[in-house]
Amino acid sequence: MDSMDFLNDDNDDDTNAYKLFGGKEGIVFIIDVTKDMFTSDGHHFSLARQCVENVMKNKAIANPSDESALIFMGTDKTDNELAFEHIVVDHKLQKPSVDLILGIRELTEEVFETRFGHNGRYSLADVFMIAISEFTKSKSHFATKRVILMTCCANPYSDNTTESRHLRSTAISRAKDFKDHNIDVELIPIGDQAFDTEVFYESVFPHLKDDKSDNNMVKLDQLMSRVYSKNHTQRILASLPFRFGSTTGPDGKSTDVQMTVYVYSLCLETKKPTAIRVDRNDNKPVVAQTQRWTADVGASVTSDELHKKYNFGAENILMNKSELKTGKQMEDSSITLLPKFGSLRCADRKKVVICRLTLRKSSPPHLVALLPQREDTSKGKPGGFQVIYLPFKEEVRHLAVDGAKNLDVKPEAIELAKNVVEKLTFAFDAKDFENPVLQTHWQLAKNVVEKLTFAFDAKDFENPVLQTHWRTIEALALNEADVEPYDEPRTQPDYKHIETEAGYDMYSLNTMLGAYNVEPTVKPVTLYTEEQMRDKCKQNKIGSLTVAELKAFCNHNNISVPNNVKKADLIQLVAHFYTNK
């Protein structure tokens, strides 16, 4: 029987009612493995393999539900369900795993040549058909579908033979099916040589004609970069009816005026993922099950038979599971305008809307203010209202300051304090900070040296705990000897610059206020008498005493205490002291 505040118990199924706004992604990698990709100086295949490995490792951390497949074109071996020659499907669409990543890592140039070989007599149209079939045969539903083609050959059918012309035309025809299946195709040229898409691939993928920028290296860098953070997809926190109040209909009955609104979370703390218990023998997940029995007869007790206690005054109210759930449902989930229909032009009139918010049926109502926010497409800000939680009357504390002692502060100290505040204050507005790339870390450091104010963006500073966590997990999973080091960004204040700007004023202020003459306070240790300690032992409360209190008692009663003694040993010494008396 548990004692709890049932109004704040959110262990209800409704708390998990999140609606995914987006979905997972499916990626099919197609790598050209002809002889040209295995040149002695280029190592093009190693670069393409490393791209696939990095993407899969990123997915394992950022989007573990995404799936990927890998296809090799131009092999001597044939291994695919459609039996198309010189094409190997290394693995079908599936979620990233340690075995897949290790399998890709083991595919060195020597291992690949021994296992698969090379043969350039493949059909690009057959490759496209296999890639499309990976999506059509998959049981997963993908919000986005991508095919990434990596090759160093700008024109695989350069000779003007009848067979080459046929393969060229069939590839162009088959590539149109990508659009019919809503599949995006990206071409990643591999190698330092110039890659002319006009020769062949612009005919296969017409969208390449509109992309004349030199962004091939940018795409390659994105595939090669490592990400050690979760990718947060936009989620709808709740879908609620927004009630403006009641009106009287033609029949004389009251009718609520309402519309459906969506609630989103503007800021969410990133935490470590919950640990999963696994069997030590086979690493399979295990599920913990709790079984309860009565203490008197040992009868089995179900969860519906359990009661929870709620203290109301001097009475204990017992509730079962169904009663507890009903008691929490004060009203339907909604956001209600108070006290009557308000103006819709809040931003123009500089007004806020006061409402009562019930996010879920099991949640207590809250008093909130709706702060209007204008749409700003340049900064990616949608139009709508920000929900600001307001306190109820009982939640406002009234601090009594009548008996507080006034400090006698000299006017010179006030002026010095003002100088310190003015020199160390900068205008901060979260709406003014953009999202710079990672290279802006160096620019931020330069700005700190030049002046005390700098453009701060939370996206530039990673969480060292999470970064170390993901690197350690990856090293353990992949059996790596060393953990990839993490260089923690400099997020500490620039104390040297602060000392230069306001050091003298801060020193003078502290000297005038006597800050350097204050002695540190030490919490006194309670010294228990023999009678008090005997009562603690009889009541079995000696474990609640601190180590310092136990040591003080032992020293006062001439009990020998060894060095580096533990609390359990001190308790034994005290008990032995009373036993021998």
Partners of residue 248 on adjacent β-strands: 254
CA distance 533 to 574: 9
Dihedral, 178, 179, 183, 187 alpha carbons, nearest 10: 70
Both structure tokens of 400: 């009594």
Residue pair 330/364 in contact (Cβ under 8 Å)? The answer is yes
**Catalytically annotated residue among 19, 379, 538, 566:** 19
- Report the 10 Å Cβ neighbour count for 29: 26
Residue 162 near residue 206, CB atoms below 8 Å: no
Token pair for 156:
């695989």
Check residue 507 and report its DSSP letter: H
Instruction: Locate 144 and state its tokens.
Output: 């986005």
Tokens coding 292: 């309860």
- Enumerate the β-bridge partners of residue 277: none
Dist. CA 478–CA 469, nearest whole Å: 14
Q: Write the CA distances from 476 to 229, 282, 324, 473, integer angstroms.
A: 17, 16, 44, 5
CA distances 285 to 71, 280, 355, 474, Å, are 31, 10, 45, 18
Ramachandran bin of 257, using left for φ above 0, alpha for ψ from -120 to 50, beta for the remaining angles:
beta
Half-sphere exposure of 291 (CA within 13 A, CB side): 4
Active site includes 219? no
Element at 421 (helix H, strand E): helix 411-423
What is the rounded distance in angstroms from the CA atom of residue 103 to the CA atom of residue 111?
11
Task: Look up residue 545 and give its amino acid.
Answer: L
Residue in the block written with tokens 């493995």 = 33
> How far apart (Å, rounded) are the C-alpha atoms in residues 373 and 514?
47
CA–CA distance, 168 with 45 (Å, rounded to integer)? 24
Helices first, then strands: H and E counts in the chain: 16, 17
Q: Is 91 helix (H, G, I), strand (E, B) or coil?
A: strand
SS3 assignment, position 371? strand
What contacts 172, CB < 8 A, 6 or more positions away? 203, 204
Q: Are 228 and 471 in contact (CB under 8 A)?
A: yes
Question: 559 in the Ramachandran plot: left (φ > 0), alpha (ψ -120 to 50) or beta?
Answer: beta
Q: Which residues are catalytic?
A: 19
